[in-house]
A and B are shown apart, each in its own frame.
Chain A
Amino acid sequence: MTETSADAVIRVAGVSFSYGAEPALERIDLTVAEREFLGIVGPNAGGKSTLLKLILGLLVPQAGRIEVLGRPPRQARRAIGYVPQYPGFARDFPISVEQVVLMGRLGTGPGFGGYRRADRLAARRALEEVEAEELAPRQITTLSGGQLQRVLLARALASEPRILILDEPTASVDQRLESDIFEHLRVLNERLTILLVSHDVAFISRYITRVACVNRTLVCHRTEAIDSPVIEALYGEPVRRVAHEHRL
């Protein structure tokens, strides 16, 4: 790992977490540098989403420490934009795209009253950034899967975050849109640190700087190192084998 402690934006040290008796993550160490684009891959139920939730402060580790921007995750979470795998809302909720994106502005400004002009401008900018400004007045019920994904990305950007965390953002869109979204992310990566969970390591390797393989334990590879044996190991037999090799 090349990053020094000075420019690390996320630091995970010796973190373990289990749901009940079932261990999900064991002694995870991970340091993410400023403006890195980290891909997180691994099998289903391997702990990828759990790791994200720990970094977001939605879960609390049973052992170890997590620091985001030098602070505990709960205090730092307003500096994070989060794009969930599944939208956490009912698709028939009577609300416009603009209102959804504005919700990304919560936690800025005063705690009461309506949204301000600055909020509306930030929401508008975020929609422009993902090329979805014409969707602003639309109802969310009328959006396609790909449009909704852009709106969720815009909502995350509206908060003007320093870190962007995405959980399988392209799981429900077609290939062309997937490349589109990744082109957007490449541009955003010029100013933001990005963590992205994906199942498609071959595809994301063109965009990311480093990949973390999570299957209860975690091992990092630089992207140049993602050659066919690694990918095979990921998709064939359990990733744990990769992890063991690297623990030597």
Chain B
Amino acid sequence: MTEFLSALGHQPFLQTALLAGLLASIGTGVVGSLVVVKRITFLAGGIAHSVLGGIGAALYFGLDPLLGALAAAVLSALLIGWVRLAWQAQEDTLIGALWAIGMAVGVLFVAKTPGYAGDLMTYLFGNILLVPQRELWLMGALDALLLIVIGLYYRQLLAVCFDEELARLRGVNVTFYYLLLLVLVAVTVVLLIQVVGLILVIALLTLPAAIAGHYVKSVGRMMAVATAIGALLTSLGLALSYEPDLPVGPTIILLAGFVYLASAIASRLIARRRTRATLHPDPADGESP
């Protein structure tokens, strides 16, 4: 850990990586909270995985793979949203199919792109240490976009997450805001792919918000706390992986998974103790060691 801190002082690539992690945390906290309360983790997983199709196509045609990822993510968000709204009966089958088809398209394109086969792992599992500095600007711009859209339409997005029928009866265009939410998820997925790759995205998107959910009482606070937890987890993961030279993405995800588990158990115990305290107030409570 101390070695990481001293290296951080004079290694620009570490500073860039740390900054990339912090920028990704904003998307994680803000959009991840909506994903968790709306319970659309499976949809988000579908969007994340089918992004490989866009990355593969961009590589094959010699375009920026990140732009390909963004285009594919938005396209797949709209497709998945349409499936959910129009084909509810077969929703999970169709989303599972889109999930796999997107990946298959990506693998085929990458296989036919000369010299790129080795880089597939980078997109699947990410490498925060390879984020080029100019990409921080793109990440910052995507964060700004997320914050502006959510700031403007928070009421409607929250209502669509909370109670679609009520939102519809109050004249909110539920279809529009639902698709908007999925597009926000798509943008966040692209942000996070930089850090952990598209296979692990779903964990980084949902775990910080789920941890925050154990303790907060409003979605707004959930967003703030989840952002802070995301920032802590990515920074700590980066630091822990530095000395033993571990891949950063999986380290961050394992750390997040561990913290989530510990928090779930702790919050369950706290809730049980609270119920017991209200049911049987124990006069000797203060005396126990």
Contact = CB atoms under 8 A, between A and B. Distances in A.
A103 B155 CA distance: 8
Interface in B158-173: 158-159, 162-172
Contacts of A84: 165
B152 A139 contact: no
Given A77-B171, A112-B153, A114-B155, A95 B165 contact: no
Contacts, number: 72
Interface stretch (B17-25, B194-202, B213-221, B260-268): B213-221
B153 A89 contact: no
B156 interface: yes
Nearest to A159: B170
Nearest to B221: A94
Given A78-B171, A107-B171, A115-B155, A139 B217 contact: yes
6 contacts: A78-B171, A84-B165, A95-B162, A103-B163, A103-B167, A106-B166
B85 to A, nearest CB: 15
Given A88-B164, A114-B155, A106 B216 contact: no
A37 interface: no
Interface in A92-115: 93-96, 99-100, 103-104, 106-107, 111-115
A121 interface: no
A181 to B, nearest CB: 19
A155 interface: yes
Q: Give the secondary structure class of B's interface.
A: helix
B154 interface: yes
Contact of B166 (A99, A139, A155): A155
Give the bracket for the number of chain B residues in contact with chain A: 20 to 34
B107 interface: no
Interface in A104-134: 104, 106-107, 111-115
Contacts of B166: 82, 88-89, 103-104, 106, 155
B271 to A, nearest CB: 11
A95 B170 contact: no
In this complex, the member of A78, A90, A94, A100 whose beta carbon has the largest number of chain B beta carbons within 10 angstroms is: A94
Q: Give the secondary structure class of A's interface.
A: loop
Nearest to A99: B218
Contact of A113 (B37, B152, B169, B217): B152
A58 interface: yes
Given A78-B170, A114-B155, A94 B217 contact: yes
Contacts of A87: 163
A33 interface: no
A84 B39 CA distance: 22
Interface in B264-281: none
B156 A106 contact: yes
B222 interface: yes
Given A94-B218, A95-B218, 18 more contacts: A58-B169, A77-B169, A87-B163, A88-B163, A89-B162, A89-B163, A94-B219, A99-B218, A103-B155, A103-B159, A103-B163, A103-B166, A106-B166, A107-B172, A112-B152, A113-B155, A114-B155, A155-B166
A193 to B, nearest CB: 16
